[in-house]
Chain A
Amino acid sequence: MKIHRFNAFESQISYFTSRTGVHLPRMTFGKGVFFKDLGRWSNTYDGQARQTESVHILPDPVQGLSFPRPLDVLSSALSLSSRMVDTEEIYGLLEYFGLPVEKATQPVISLSGGEILLLNFAKAKAMLPFVEGLVACSPIHWLNENRYSQWEKLVEAFDKKKRFVDVALLEGEPFIDEKSVRQETVLQPVPAVTWQLGLDDPVVVFEEIRFPSYHPASRIEYKLDDGSRSINLESPVLITGDNGVGKSIFAKVLSGIIKPSGGSVAINAPNGSGHARLIFQDAIDQLFGKSIDGHMDWVFRFDEDKRRIAKDIYAELDAGIRNDFQDRTEELEAMGSQSRKCTLLQAKISLIAERLATRTPVLVLDEPGWGLSRSIARKLVETVSRTAGKMHVAIVLISHHARWWQGMVHSRCHLSQEGKHTVVIGKV
């Protein structure tokens, strides 16, 4: 297995494109650059084989799945030689990578990020006899630590058949080659913000149409482990939990994107009550197709004051991170040019600054380390927590990588499945 490490998401993507010939149009530069990239791809596209035939895992794994359901993804991958595929073989593959068989017929879009990644593993294994190797970007970033072995199983299968495995990682990203636990420290303690989360039996139900009837495709009830209705927390709070347990859905409930079908969730923080603001794991989508500066101007077109505050916060966060890397050119380069903002990191800083400027009660960062090197991700979260602390904004981190945030979180909650439909939230 060859491992290449990069400081920036953008360099990781360039490497992936050079290795596979797959173009991923750039999203952070705004519409103009996106369309040019797309046009260039369609003009140069010839559908011919590259020198090496490989199977890919993209940084956003859902983009690699070209069929609507796991069953289709796997049956098309298994039937490369046009032989008949036994459905049991498909279920076997799903179970091999720890995915329940009932996921086979669910639409790909209804799976969680980690489940989609595991489906990519199953697809890669199905295609193994027909390819020369595997090119993967950050292949375990979306996985809980207890599932790293799934990746090891996949690599083992490729090794056994003498296929190459080429992995593009970001610096410091958790990976199976990193067994030792590094102790991370923070020089000055991050300020704590005390707040309260109330849970009055919220239930989230997703229904599936089956004319002439319907049935709930999934149902999650959130409960506190001690049976109480509220929990006192000290920000920054870290939320952990296994893949598919419902962390991202919980974040969406907190931010009002998903309204519970029953019960309610209440936030009581120094900046008031109401909904949290959320930065998605794949934050680029939140630019809504605009450039980084364009987004800020768009959101604050009717609020000059807040736009100014947001720009000041952006400058403060940017300077806070840059100061720490003054003598480290690689990290500075990864941060991107200050004159033309175009990196994933700058997109994240901009989206965070915008939300802090609105003085939200709680800001939720879903897997803030995605697409960032470990040193930059840590520095980003630390700087954001300090600035947020000054503004009494509570920060919630949702992450599989508890070790990344050592020394900077004040409370930690763990989400675990209890029975088929209940998710229990407990303070660790």
Chain B
Amino acid sequence: MKKNEWTFATTAIVAGLIALSAIATMVIRIPIPATTGYFNIGDVFVVLAGLWLGPLAGALVGGLGPTIADAIGFPVFIPATMVTKGLEGFLVGLIASRAQGSSMKLRTVAAFVGGLTVVVGYFVFEAYIYPAMGKSMPAFAVTDIGAAIVEAFPNTVQGIIGAVGGLALWKALSGYQPGKK
């Protein structure tokens, strides 16, 4: 596929990745009691989308896939997930699109920036935005700054797993061999 060109192949792959990230987020959930949020591996596909197809695809997969999963059981997290994971996919894609050939360096940076986005994004939502929203809409009053600090830990692990998993899948797809650029 030519860089920065949206084709039918891009649509099909993005649709597949949205579905897969929704399923992965939905089925493998380890709850975090403090926030009623949960740890999952859906980020692997968000990072992969950014690395494989660029920022727009990354943003779409991140913004839609895990959000669909949140609708099942954790609807209050929809806004946080849509923004945070959409941004994650977008940033991974943006940075990775500047990488030359099949070089891993910048792609690794991209994947980990994506992981960091998850940690920071959820922290901002859980520590500041949700408590503020909770004042007028009680359904959002599920977190506070203490809970957000606690959840930063599992989110870090989740971010790392997403980045490593996404990179590994991208390597398998690109036929990457160490030493070759």
Chain A–chain B contact at Cβ < 8 A: yes
Q: Which residues of A contact B169 (CB under 8 A)?
A: 35
When the two chains form their complex, are residues B172 and A45 in contact, meaning their CB atoms are under 8 A apart? Answer: no
> In whole angstroms, what is the CA distance A31 to B172 when docked?
9
**B 145-181 binary contact with A (CB < 8 Å = 1; else 0):** 0000000000000000000000001001111000000
- Chain B at the A interface: SS class: helix
Number of A interface residues, CB 8 Å?
A: 12
Q: Which residues of B contact A46 (CB under 8 A)?
A: 1-2
* A47 with B9, Cβ < 8 A, contacts A42-B1, A42-B52 known: yes
B1 close to A35 (CB less than 8 A): no
Report how many residues on chain B are interfacial, defined by Cβ distance under 8 Å: 12
* CB of A39 closer than 8 Å to a CB of B: yes
Rounded to whole Å, the gap between the CB of B80 and the closest CB of chain A is: 29
The contact string, 1 if C-beta is below 8 Å from chain A, for chain B 1-23, is 11000011100010000000000
Contacts of A35 in B (CB 8 A): 169, 172-173
A46 to B169 alpha-carbon distance, docked (Å): 22
Q: Which residues from 36 to 88 on chain A have a C-beta closer than 8 Å to any C-beta of chain B?
A: 36, 38-40, 42-43, 45-47
The answer for the CA separation of A40 and B7 in the assembled complex, in Å, is: 16
**How far does the alpha carbon of A32 sit from the alpha carbon of B173 in the complex, in Å?**
8
What residues on A are CB-neighbors of B173 within 8 Å?
Answer: 35-36, 38-39, 42
Distance of A43 Cα from B13 Cα, bound (Å): 13
- In contact, B1 and A43 (Cβ under 8 angstroms): yes
Given the interface contacts A35-B169, A47-B7, does A42 sit within 8 Å of B175 by beta carbon? no
- Chain A: which residue is nearest B173 at the CB level? A39
Within 8 A of A (CB), among B122-152: none
With both beta carbons as reference points, the residue of chain A lying nearest to B169 in the complex is identified as A35
B49 to chain A, nearest CB (A): 12
Which chain A residues lie closer than 8 Å to B8 at the CB level? 47
Could you tell me the distance in whole angstroms from the C-beta of A16 to the nearest C-beta in chain B? 19
A68 → chain B, closest Cβ, in Å?
12
B2, B7, B9, B172: the one within 8 Å of A39 (CB): B172
- Give the residue of A36, A42, A43 whose beta carbon is less than 8 angstroms from that of B172: A36
When the two chains form their complex, are residues B175 and A45 in contact, meaning their CB atoms are under 8 A apart? no
For A345-381 the 0/1 string (1 means CB < 8 A from B) is: 0000000000000000000000000000000000000
A40 to B169, CA, bound (A): 14
- Given A31-B172, A47-B8, A42-B2 contact (CB < 8 Å): no
Contact with B along A18-40 (1 / 0, CB 8 A): 00000000000001100110111
A36 and B9 form a contact (CB under 8 A): no
Within the complex, which residue of B2, B9, B175 is in contact with A40, where a contact is CB–CB below 8 Å?
B175
Nearest-Cβ distance from residue A20 to partner chain B, whole angstroms: 16
Give Cα A35 to B172, complex, Å.
6
Instruction: Knowing A45-B7, A47-B7, A47-B8, say if A39 contacts B174 (CB, 8 Å).
Output: yes
Smallest Cβ-Cβ distance to A47: which chain B residue:
B7
Given contacts A45-B1, A45-B7, A46-B2, are A39 and B13 in contact (CB under 8 A)? no
Interface centre among B9, B13, B173, B175 (most CB of A within 10 A): B173
Output the nearest chain B residue to A31 by Cβ-Cβ distance.
Answer: B172
User: Is there contact, CB below 8 Å, between B172 and A32?
Assistant: yes
Contacts of B2 in A (CB 8 A): 46
Whether the Cβ atoms of A39 and B1 lie closer than 8 Å is: no
Q: Which residues of the partner chain A approach B175 to less than 8 Å between Cβ atoms? A: 36, 39-40
Instruction: Report the minimum CB–CB distance from B100 to chain A (whole Å).
Output: 15
Q: From residue B170, how far is it (CB to closest CB) to chain A in Å?
A: 9
Bound form: Cα–Cα A31–B52 in Å: 18
Give the complex CA separation of A42 and B7 in angstroms. Answer: 11
User: How far does the Cβ of B47 sit from chain A's closest Cβ, in whole Å?
Assistant: 16
Chain B residues, Cβ within 8 Å of A47: 7-9
Interface residues of B in 27-85 (CB under 8 A from A): 52
CB distance from B16 to the nearest CB of A (A): 10
Among A40, A42, A43, A47, max chain B CB count under 10 A is at A42
A36→B169 CA distance, assembly (Å): 10
Q: Which residues of A contact B174 (CB under 8 A)?
A: 39, 43
The interface residues of chain B lying within 8 Å CB-to-CB of A40 are 175
CB distance from A389 to the nearest CB of B (A): 43
Bound-state CA distance A375–B75 (Å) is: 58
Distance of A44 from chain B, by nearest CB (Å): 8
Contacts of A38 in B (CB 8 A): 173
> Residues 201-235 of chain A: 1 if any B CB is under 8 Å from the residue's CB, otherwise 0?
00000000000000000000000000000000000
With both beta carbons as reference points, the residue of chain A lying nearest to B2 in the complex is identified as A46
CA distance A45 to B2 in the complex (A): 8
Complex-state Cα separation, A35 to B174, whole angstroms: 8
B93 to chain A, nearest CB (A): 15
| A407 CA / B13 CA spacing, docked (Å) | 48
What's the Cα separation between A36 and B173 when bound, in Å? 5
16 contacts between A and B (CB under 8 A): A31-B172, A35-B172, A36-B173, A38-B173, A39-B172, A39-B174, A39-B175, A42-B1, A42-B13, A42-B52, A42-B173, A45-B1, A45-B9, A46-B1, A46-B2, A47-B9
Chain B interface (Cβ < 8 Å from any Cβ of A) = 1-2, 7-9, 13, 52, 169, 172-175
Residues of chain A at the chain B interface (Cβ within 8 Å):
31-32, 35-36, 38-40, 42-43, 45-47
**Contacts A32-B172, A42-B13, A47-B8 known; 15 new A-B pairs at CB < 8 A:** A31-B172, A36-B172, A36-B175, A38-B173, A39-B172, A39-B173, A39-B175, A42-B1, A42-B52, A42-B173, A45-B7, A46-B1, A46-B2, A47-B7, A47-B9
9 shortest A-B CB distances, which residue pairs? A39-B173, A35-B172, A47-B7, A36-B175, A45-B9, A45-B1, A35-B173, A39-B174, A42-B1
